[in-house]
Structure 1
């Protein structure tokens, strides 16, 4: 339907021009559907990197404190309990201590807690090794 406007030209009704755009209306939904999984994957990887960085710092602090305790002569069981208390963000904590004539080397290793699935394969384990001179 058209009306005659000034000058004898046809004037379209506003609703008719909006109906022609109906073919393009689904593109925003398709773009959103394609972008959502990418955003979710990037967020999961970012969370894994943050968890790994935090776990690495925790392992380094625990290894340093454990090496100092062993160098002072504390028992291995008390050192192990202290390390496990220092590392609540690590699951499956592995503690390795080696004494030599000059001091103590200790390694604390584990994987970040809560990192599972495909991200766990990308960030499997963090570790820190510290050597402290003996008394």
Structure 2
């Protein structure tokens, strides 16, 4: 704990003062502001959107497309799960669910489950609920 009137740099948010007064000289760059959150979300949405447009425009099914050759396909002749996921994403963006299921059925079924689990996790985190621990309880 630092003396009164000084900011303890090891604890960025001590309970005895606020940063609003500016007396401690602490920078607020480490805190997430609504503008930073919005800019981060907008940048992430732009990158994901550009990737989706690229995947929609160029077919990974065509061997002469601009996608690089998969090393697994080159060495073994078999399609890897990543190749199937890429083709499945292209087919989903084109609206062809049957072809997407043919490319990677496991990921097609698993994706909505993982998205729902992630949303549930974020919802619990926002509420402040502690993560549940599973497994053997240690009793000392």
Q: TM-score, normalised by structure 1?
A: 0.28
Q: TM-score, normalised by structure 2?
A: 0.28
Task: State the structure with more CA Rg.
Answer: 1
| Larger RCO (alpha carbons 8 Å, 6+ apart) | 1
